[in-house]
Chains A and B, each alone.
Chain A
Amino acid sequence: MTMLDVNGLNVWFGKNRDRVDAVKGASFQVGTGESFGLVGESGSGKSTILRAITGLAPDWSGIITVDGTPITGKKRPRGFFKTVQMVFQDPYASLHPRHSVDQVLGETLHLHGFDDIDGRVAKLLDDVGLGQKFRFRYPHQLSGGQRQRVAIARALAPEPTLLLLDEPTSALDVSVQAEILNLLADLRADRGLTYLMVSHDLSVIGHMCDRLAVMRNGEIVEILDVDALRASNAAHPYSQQLLEASL
């Protein structure tokens, strides 16, 4: 079963002479329950793919199919966000500074039409390893790792099947990174989630993913599985270069 099928995806910003092609002809498939990684240096277009899938990058062409349903244009139907959710890179920027944890999660649940919001907020906080005492805190009262746990709880609130992770640990301390990665691994095992994870860190991808695509200048240069990565068995010279740099 294919959860996400991206075929010939082009994404660009600006018009005419100012046009910048961020992604050129990217194609890959992510199976249901799989964890797929996108690796590349800054500006290689890996985050842009996620933004195109969620509709945050409006100008794109190609075919994107999520759980058998093709998606079109800029707007996504409401139901789309019950299937696909995203965790942003910087937990310091992705939480509203004036909304408490309770408001963030409560509003998300309300928007998706859940009832028993109180109970669900409590359960979400437990699921991401934050106790009830964090429920009425504001973002500035939380550490980076705690904020990212709140952001993960928000993404999990609509009970999605596909989670897009945009460098979820790159803004965090090394010690906290491991905690968040373990949390994400546990959540995937518990809930049978499909992950599409963007990172520039090969060791993170090696720990989290089954297969990965190496990106450079907006193009996917190679798709390989994680065993090949561990054995340093990359075919493309750029992938080899990346592997060597990360050793």
Chain B
Amino acid sequence: MSETQTLRQWLLTETPTSRRHAKLSALYQGWLSFRSNTMAMVGLGILIALILIAFAAPLLAPHDPFSQDLGNRLAPLGTDGHIFGTDSLGRDILSRLIYGARITLYIVALVALIAPVAGLLVGTVSGYVGGWADVVLMRITDIFLAFPRLVLALAFVAALGAGIENAVLAISLTAWPPYARIARAETLTIRSSDYISAIKLQGAGPIRIITKHIWPLCISSLIVRVTLDMAGIILAAAGLGFLGLGAQPPSPEWGAMISEGRRFILDHWWVATVPGLAIFTVSLAFNLLGDGLRDVLDPKAGE
């Protein structure tokens, strides 16, 4: 019997011998069922590649993303030294895309940290406590939901000033209400269940019940929703960039790059198309990943 086989058997055992063993075993089984979903693996692969590219940007980029070469502006695809061509100031588009991956990841990571956590807090507290807290929190959520998302984000950015941090903040502020709604709906079904009654009978307080018993059941559906929303978040950031309210030039944000290329879209289509394809690929990757995660994390599927 080879070493790898025994490790595999150790991970797949029916009778774990310790807490750590049980946890690793559960993780491994989740990974196995995730791995069998080819499309989700493709999505995960693209995202891992994006993360690696963002980290290794200075090594990978053939040129400085900010260095201009006005003699060589709007070079077409496949030009020597500029595979994706150059933009209106003669900057290498490939290098700008590679550096832009960092900005995209930064936006995605920050929004993914702020919005679902805020939504989870508001939703579970509102659902579990009920009464006045529920009414107040849900009416606030309704107010945020009533505005079109991009318009609200525009208003926030206009008030806070243009820039990537404010764009992230504005997107987060407009993104949390759906999470709050989902978390509240789940909490309402969970809070009247017997296992919550059972832990109440052990003397558990509301904070323990919300954080240890309700959150674990809400988080899986929120993670899925976040990955599915990621595409929308990237697009919203790109949209703000396109409108000139997100990342400011010369920052190589993908939306801002499309916005710049718009002026030449008829004669020099690649300037806008290449960053558009990058946004499309990453959005698609998040959607595929979200689909796969839903299959793995859905507690009902495990039964």
Flag if A56 contacts B200 (CB, 8 Å). Answer: yes
User: Is A136 interfacial (CB-CB < 8 Å)?
Assistant: yes
Please give the residue numbers on chain A whose beta carbons come within 8 Å of chain B beta carbons, in ascending order.
54-56, 78, 81, 85-86, 88-90, 93-100, 102, 107-108, 111-112, 133, 135-136, 138, 140, 151, 154, 157-158
Flag if A133 contacts B303 (CB, 8 Å). Answer: no
Q: Could you say which of B11-19, B231-239, B273-281 contacts chain A?
A: B11-19
12 pairs across A/B with beta carbons < 8 Å? A56-B200, A94-B197, A96-B199, A97-B302, A98-B216, A99-B213, A100-B22, A107-B199, A108-B199, A140-B303, A151-B198, A154-B198
User: Is B80 interfacial (CB-CB < 8 Å)?
Assistant: no
Flag if B197 contacts A56 (CB, 8 Å). Answer: yes
Which chain B residue has the least Cβ–Cβ distance from A166?
B194
Flag if B198 contacts A88 (CB, 8 Å). Answer: yes
Contacts of B271-302 to chain A: CB distance below 8 A: 299, 302
A-contact bits for B25-45, CB 8 A (1 contact / 0 none): 010000000000000000000
Chain A residue numbers with a CB within 8 Å of B139 are none
- Smallest distance from the beta carbon of A233 to chain B beta carbons, Å? 37
Flag if B202 contacts A88 (CB, 8 Å). Answer: no
A-contact bits for B191-208, CB 8 A (1 contact / 0 none): 001110111111110000
Chain A residue numbers with a CB within 8 Å of B15 are 133, 136
CA–CA, A86 and B217, complex, Å: 24
- Smallest distance from the beta carbon of B201 to chain A beta carbons, Å? 6
CA–CA, A238 and B209, complex, Å: 43
Chain A residue numbers with a CB within 8 Å of B18 are 136
- Smallest distance from the beta carbon of B17 to chain A beta carbons, Å? 8
Flag if B204 contacts A94 (CB, 8 Å). Answer: no
CA–CA, A40 and B58, complex, Å: 77
Chain A residue numbers with a CB within 8 Å of B73 are none
CA–CA, A55 and B198, complex, Å: 12
A-contact bits for B130-157, CB 8 A (1 contact / 0 none): 0000000000000000000000000000
Known: A78-B203, A133-B15, A136-B16. A98 touches B198 (CB 8 A): no
Contacts of B199-248 to chain A: CB distance below 8 A: 199-204, 212-213, 216-217
- Smallest distance from the beta carbon of A130 to chain B beta carbons, Å? 12
CA–CA, A95 and B203, complex, Å: 16
Other than A107-B204, A111-B204, give 18 A-B pairs with Cβ distance below 8 A: A54-B201, A55-B200, A56-B201, A81-B203, A85-B201, A88-B194, A89-B194, A90-B194, A94-B194, A94-B195, A95-B198, A97-B299, A98-B216, A102-B22, A136-B19, A138-B302, A154-B198, A157-B202
